[in-house]
Amino acid sequence: MKSDNQELWRATEAFLGWLRRHGIESHDPYDLWGTRYGLFARRRYYAKRRTGGLLVAPLVAADVLAPGVARILVRRQRFATAEAQLALGFLNLYDITGDEDHRASALKIARGLLDLAIPGYKGHCWGYPFDWQNNQGLWKRNTPFITATPYCFEAFLRAADVLGNEEYLDVAASIARFVLLDLRDTKVSDGASAGSYSPNDHTQVINASAYRAFVLFESWRRFGDERYLETAQRNLAFVLDSQREDGSWLYALESPGEAFIDHFHTCFVLKNLQKLNQVIESADVGRAIERGFAFYRSALFHDDATPKSFAIEPRLQLARVEVYNFAEAITLGTLLKATVPGAFSLAERLTRRAIRDYQLPSGHFVTRIYIGGFRHTTPFLRWPQAQVFLALTNMLRELNHDELGSAGGARVGAPALANAGQSS
């Protein structure tokens, strides 16, 4: 992809131009679903599918036909996951270019993340600013989640490493305490426990345990507390034991309504296994990743390499293309570059597709494309704009490392992105 590096830089610059204009407050796909009517409709849907289906139908229609209607009904908000991913992207750009504007943007976002942290727990933690009705019940806004908090953990660790900021290492240590002490364990065997999604549940969501295991293994390496290692090993054992014969993982166990296999949650499991295995270097984890990626590649892509949303579908799907899947697939491919043959070349191919087929003249990306070709172009920062930005910068970082090796250590292929992140 070396010949396409300039295309990738131009796409990144165009996105940053859009981000300057848009800002970090955003509407969200869950805006309408988090309204009083949306919560009621979903609650009825989970209780009685037939009558509930009639209630959710107008919301589904709005999602497809008028996704921008939430702008009228719901104010824009800030999302910790999106901001953490933006910070990681700016840190990637600073690492590549040395541009002080990217450094300033990363620092500004990191400081803002501290304002979004949820109080009342044993360490820093983050969730979502909306009520979320699911088949487990109502999870109130600002409930901390293991699927949100690890992105902040990574952002503060990277800020500490890249920028030499010891204060942010202390924040990462605080996050580790939350992940260890506030989340729950559900014993599933003598050596394995499922980590909870929040401090309030005992679910057995596979990607939640993978996120927790990664944070705790990395915290053990960084901070030397053996309690992190013990719990991480039990959560990892749960993830490995839950892998099916064909290499796949269901979204969750002990929950028939969540017995699906989808694209980006599979990416979540694989990328966390890869990250934690950079700490423990386990042959068993390596084999699980290889088996998992083999299933992922065969079952979660169409013949033309377009990501497929589901291998086992939980319900009727109206979306033909989900750009969130592109973002997660690209990031996964950059992580697996050195260990899984073909993963990085697939990520390069998907990067070209994302830029050429789904980046809009404004600089942001299509959200999804529905059956029939209807394009959803309303930009939601949490889904998938921040993820695409992080994916593009992850790809740039890997390509830059390749070029640094061939150029004797000099920075190459990184044009100046003047003031690209100033207002982020």
User: What is the per-residue pLDDT across 83-117, written as a single tens digit (0 to 9) for each?
Assistant: 999 999 999 999 999 999 999 999 999 999 999 99
Dihedral, 49, 54, 60, 66 alpha carbons, nearest 10: -170
Residue found by looking up tokens 């920062």 in the block: 381
Lowest-confidence segment of 69-78, 184-193, 204-213, 350-359 by average pLDDT: 69-78
- Identify the helix (H) or strand (E) that includes residue 133: strand 132-134
**Given the structure tokens 């869950």, which residue do they identify?**
30
Q: Which tens digits make up the pLDDT trace of 35-48?
A: 999 999 999 988 88
Name the token pair of 77.
């908000």
Q: Are 193 and 186 in contact (CB under 8 A)?
A: yes
What is the rounded distance in angstroms from the CA atom of residue 90 to the CA atom of residue 250? 33
Q: Which of 193, 186, 279 is nearest to 240 (CA)?
A: 193
Instruction: Give me 348's structure tokens.
Output: 């390069």
- Give CA–CA dist 353/366, Å, rounded: 12
Those residues with Cβ within 8 angstroms of residue 72's Cβ, 6 or more apart along the chain or in another chain: none
Residue holding tokens 């240590």? 173
- Tell me phi and psi for residue 311, to 5 degrees: -90, -40
**Residue 134 pLDDT level (bands cut at 50, 70, 90):** confident
Query: Over 70: is that where the pLDDT of 421 sits?
Result: no
For residues 123 and 175, is the Cβ–Cβ distance under 8 A?
A: yes
DSSP strand E in 264-354: where?
310-312, 319-322
Largest CA distance in the chain: 66
